[in-house]
A and B are shown apart, each in its own frame.
Chain A
Amino acid sequence: MLWNSLLLAVRAIRRNVLRSFLTILGVVIGVASVIVMVTLGDGTTQSVKEQMQSLGANLLTVRPGMRMGPGRDEALAPNFKMADVEALAAQIAAAQAVVPTAGSTVTVVYGNKNWQTSATGSTAAYFQTNNWRLASGRFFTEAEALGGRAACVIGSTVRRELYGTESPVGTEMRVKSFSCEVVGLLASKGQGGMGMDADDTIIIPLRTLQRRVRGNDDVTGLQVAVKEGASVDAVIEQIKGLLRERRKITEGEDDNFSVFDTRQIADTLSSMVRTLTMLLGSVAAISLLVGGIGIMNIMLVSVTERTREIGIRLAIGAVETEVLSQFLIEAVALSSLGGLVGIALANAVALGVTRLIEVPYLFNPGMNLVSFLFSALIGVVFGYFPARRAARLDPIEALRYE
């Protein structure tokens, strides 16, 4: 009987192709938007995680002030000094490396081109803790860093803007007011977190930046690489205790510096993306529901329009359950078809958009399957009422219907 009902349902759908297509459009759009939203969310989460991974695992960042970004009070949160770096390195056993950094925005010039970029001053260990790889040349050495040599390593964006296709290694580039030898070119990291270009940077020895750019001996940030297997939380506590002591913060007073765990930042970002994905996914799910109501609407119209047909079927001996299952199967076939078309459409769109916004495209088989089953369920739920109405028609009345 199921097979017969399916046959009858397929014949009925085939008899009215245009209307069948319009009927399923709501479900197509609903399923497609759910899948696109979730796929883009998954891709973005993945992308955030990869970027955070590229910053280096088990890396703690210490900054003056209680929050990230601009607006901190210099007087209340003074910068660090090299003495702080040495103290941390000497006293925290679980620290693999303590890397000082200072940053500044500089204009770099080569030939007749100039470009504004961010310069980071640090030690030779910086390249390792931040997972930088070389495209060509070399990193500056620890000796060069200590000696304050004018040696710089440039990012691929700076190279593109100043050198085009020319090899930058060995050339002299002007940074602000001094001349600097380009010793290495960094391999591209691609788009950084939150739309920043990680490759738009130059890295020079800290001492060089302090003397020739900033004109002071401040250290604006510390990076602490934690040894494999050591407790990150314990290291954070040690850093806090030591810095409070060194910065003469009395009991009960708040810290005037912050310690960030990169993994924590990654988790926060990921959970933000997840929340946003769920929100957008729910909105999309509502449109799927509206698609279901669309099916019910058309099925009801169809039952009224096909009253005579139903009368014929009943007169020649169809029982109530056969008419019910025919219309129900028709609704389920329509909505499942909508689900399939929606899945195909969604993955095509998601593939295009993920390329466009440069996040990985992750095919999620479970979610696609659930979307399909849900679209079939919508057919059952919203097809039942019209189908029952059809099945309960009186054959005499139905045959007389004009």
Chain B
Amino acid sequence: MNETANEAGGAGPSHRGVEAGVVIAIAILAIIGIIGASRVGTGWSAEGPRAGFFPFFICIAILISCAVNLVQVFKSENDGAVFASWDQIKKVMQVVVPTAVYVAIIPYSGIYVASALLIVGFMKVLGRYGWAAALAVGVAVPLFTFVAFEKWFLVPLPKGPLEHLLGY
């Protein structure tokens, strides 16, 4: 993965920087865990170890391994490798942002309408398809999932105003 990033060239955030960031993020989670575990007690009570006993030591282990990993990051040679070029990051964001919007509107629009919008948007913008093709796939896939889940497998999925209008 990293090699391809190098070959692709182009500037971007350094691999070392991101690696250190990941270590710090994990360490922060561990500290939150230690605080949470301390609240419910990490010692012994009449019934044996308290609820926070196990998570407490787990989080300590995370912190220790984070320390080692951080040292490894700084000991590693600074070869100027990039995590990913800005161009690649843009591509990744092109998936993350629409998916975030998609996830956010599901509770309001229902999953079928949101899915149709996601597929049409994706095909129009990233795939540069015409309206006809995009709409065809965008309508067919949610329609198929509707039949498969609501009718065949009897698994209800989130529905919004459109489905209510149609009487579901």
Q: Do A and B bind each other?
A: no
Residues of A within 8 A of B (CB): none
Residues of B within 8 A of A (CB): none
